[in-house]
Amino acid sequence: MDNIKLRNVHENDANFIFSIMNTDSILDSLNEIPTQLGDWEDAIKEWKQDDDEEDYVICDGDTPIGWIGVNGLSSSEKIAYLKLAAILPDRHNKGIGHYIISQVIEMLRQRGYSKIALYTDQDNRKARACYSKCGFEVTETLTEEMSNGRIVTRCKMELLL
């Protein structure tokens, strides 16, 4: 994992995020719908001005291979949320998710957050396995209509810091 690093998202990452977020298997796992490049250009500008959220690109050396976002950072309860994690499909199941999420957990612990929470689909076994390895536990299940119209059973997972 020596070459795997996190860096802050910047505006010229819009193309990469546009590309990964329109990959069929990623759209399917997230129950999302296709987006335009401009959506991500706008989103990155908004994230940069939002104290509640931070977004990072996961790189192998200089090459982007995924991204991860956290929000809830301004909450008075000091509860952060893992908003999204997405890694290029050909890099899955190699421990990169566990490695990067563990770094984010440690960074939030050092900044005084008391808990990290996230929502994922109950049938997203890869994501659930990755989050469990990182120490998250399912605390709630709920049903939600997703962006693509599917009605999905979702899990809230939490980790006390």
Query: Terminus-to-terminus CA distance in the chain, angstroms?
Result: 24
98 binds ligand COA (CB under 6 A): yes
93 contributes a contact to ligand COA by CB under 6 A: yes
Q: Which of 5, 22, 60, 95 binds ligand COA (CB under 6 A)?
A: 95
The 3 state secondary structure assigned to the chain is CCCEEEEECCHHHHHHHHHHCCCHHHHHHHCCCCCCHHHHHHHHHHHHHCCCCEEEEEEECCEEEEEEEEECCCCCCCEEEEEEEEECHHHCCCCHHHHHHHHHHHHHHHCCCCEEEEEEECCCHHHHHHHHHCCCEEEEEEEEECCCCCEEEEEEEEEEC
Candidate ranges 6-14, 32-40, 124-132, 146-154; the one touching ligand COA (CB under 6 A): 124-132
> What residues from 5 to 24 belong to the interface with ligand COA (CB under 6 A)?
none
Q: Is 150 in the site for ligand COA (CB under 6 A)?
A: no
Q: Which is nearer to ligand COA, 78 or 92 (CB)?
A: 92
Q: Is 29 in the site for ligand COA (CB under 6 A)?
A: yes
Q: Does 85 bind ligand COA (CB under 6 A)?
A: yes
With contacts defined by CB under 6 A, name the span among 35-43, 71-79, 82-90, 105-113 that binds ligand COA.
82-90
Residues in contact with ligand COA by CB under 6 A are 26, 29-30, 85-87, 92-98, 120, 124-127, 129-130, 133
